[in-house]
Amino acid sequence: MSAQQWASSAVLAGNFVPATNVQSASGLSINVLAGKTYAFEIHAYVMSSATAGSTLSLNFGSATVSSIVGMSNIFIGGSAPTANFYSPISAYTSVINYAGTSGLQLEQVMTGSFVVNAAGIFEPGYATAASSTTALLAGSWMRLT
């Protein structure tokens, strides 16, 4: 078994507010090759809303992937995290969601791996409740190895 000797990354240049309830997070996309296994790490920064949560998912992009495994979590707080939520990832639509006190900086982190069946673009999805304008903040990033 050989280790891959390269990595690809993407950083969101500006805030991203989905035009609909669920939308691919354009700006966070990486081309992937068929037949490869990738490890992923996604760090999504958002400001919380009192009434509408935000969701990060793995079901967007033109690539066809399978065998997704991993974990997702949310770190909540200003200067220090006040709570953490963990959730296993086992399918495209695995999500992480939080709605609570307005104005808290949240870091949504997803890590894991997947196998590419058909080459294309791997791009996470981002969503908010229909009534929300919660943005995925500039500086959010993703890395594949």
DSSP bridge pairs for 106: 46, 76
Residue 5 is predicted with a pLDDT of 46
Q: Which CATH number fits domain 24-144: 1.10.540, 1.20.1060, 3.90.550, 2.60.120?
A: 2.60.120
pTM score, whole prediction: 0.81
Half-sphere exposure of 141 (CA within 13 A, CB side): 7
> pLDDT for 4-40, tens place per residue?
545 699 999 998 877 666 667 778 889 999 999 999 9
- Maximum Cα–Cα distance for the chain, whole Å? 49
What is the rounded distance in angstroms from the CA atom of residue 110 to the CA atom of residue 44?
A: 9
Walk along the chain (145 residues) in steps of 10 and give the mean pLDDT of each run.
64 82 76 94 80 70 87 68 58 57 76 92 78 79 94
DSSP bridge pairs for 22: 127
